[in-house]
Amino acid sequence: MILNREWIEGNRDAMKEWEQEAYDYFKGMMENRDQPYPCVPGVQGFQKDMVRYGFASGEQEAAGEKLASMLSEYTRMSRSAGTFTSLVVFFEWKEGTVDGFRDRFWALLNQLHADDPVPWPEGISEDPSHHSWEFCHHGESYFAFCATPAHQKRKSRHFPYFMMAFQPRWVFEDINSGTPLGQKMKKVIRDRLEKYDEVEVHPSLKWYGQEDNFEWQQYYLGDDDASISKCPFLNSLKAAKR
């Protein structure tokens, strides 16, 4: 279920038309030199064939089950994929609003969490309001990302199909506020974002681990600077009922 660039580009006849369209659009984003995509590690991962891909169709629950299988498989093999690896999953969903797609995104993360048999890793808070929290699956911590057809102004979050990406936390071990590489990378990414989007860089984009940072706010950005007030993640909903 997990595919690499070489397989996709060599087996297009085995793919559905929408799968070909989704991959071709993604490839165009990653190879666009006139308007470079802001996520530098993502672009490097694509160029070096470190990115892994999946496709999910059907209704929400069925698509979520496929996503769970793909993410579990990816978690087991991600470290062999390369330094800048990530899992990119395309969904056959094109109709919706920014708010509606946000609900879908969090519903999928909650479904993944509810079906995850592995305990939450030690050292990572289960409370999304804590700065150490981030999404975890099968014992691996991830930065989760979403792009949708409904996003227009924030072009870095626009994609013709609903798309989710998962980057393992270890990808960022040398890319943080405490390293020269991280500081340089942040400036490059910010500069690219300012040129790429039609709106200002979202105020929620901060470094993981900062006390004023909440990772969940970065996973799904709206088309403006607004942020929802409460995290829709299952753990926070359980805590609220106690």
Q: What is the pLDDT of residue 177?
A: 59
| 53 beta partners | 3, 88
Query: Is it the case that residue 95 has pLDDT exceeding 50?
Result: yes
- Report the C-alpha gap between 112 and 136 in whole angstroms: 9
Which amino acid, 114?
A: A
The model's confidence at residue 209, banded by pLDDT at 50, 70 and 90, is: low
Q: What is the mean pLDDT of the chain?
A: 89
The model's confidence at residue 13, banded by pLDDT at 50, 70 and 90, is: very high
Query: Is it the case that residue 124 has pLDDT exceeding 80?
Result: yes
pLDDT digits (tens, 9 = 90+) for 15-41: 999 999 999 999 999 999 999 999 998
Asked if 214 and 90 count as a contact pair (C-beta separation under 8 A), the reply is: no
Higher pLDDT, 88 or 208: 88
Task: Copy the structure tokens of residue 201.
Answer: 């860089």
pLDDT digits (tens, 9 = 90+) for 173-191: 876 656 666 677 778 888 9
pTM of the predicted protein model = 0.92
Task: Copy the structure tokens of residue 156.
Answer: 């870095």
- Report the C-alpha gap between 127 and 32 in whole angstroms: 38
Asked if 130 and 200 count as a contact pair (C-beta separation under 8 A), the reply is: no
Asked if 98 and 223 count as a contact pair (C-beta separation under 8 A), the reply is: yes
Residue spans per domain, the chain: 5-241
Q: What is the pLDDT of residue 211?
A: 61
E strands, 45-122, where? 51-56, 86-91
Query: Is it the case that residue 153 has pLDDT exceeding 70?
Result: yes
Query: Is it the case that residue 172 has pLDDT exceeding 90?
Result: no
SS3 3: strand
pLDDT digits (tens, 9 = 90+) for 64-89: 999 999 999 999 999 999 999 999 99
Least confident window among 55-59, 155-159, 234-238: 234-238
**At 167, which helix (H) or strand (E)?**
strand 163-168
Query: Is it the case that residue 240 has pLDDT exceeding 50?
Result: no
Q: What is the pLDDT of residue 186?
A: 78
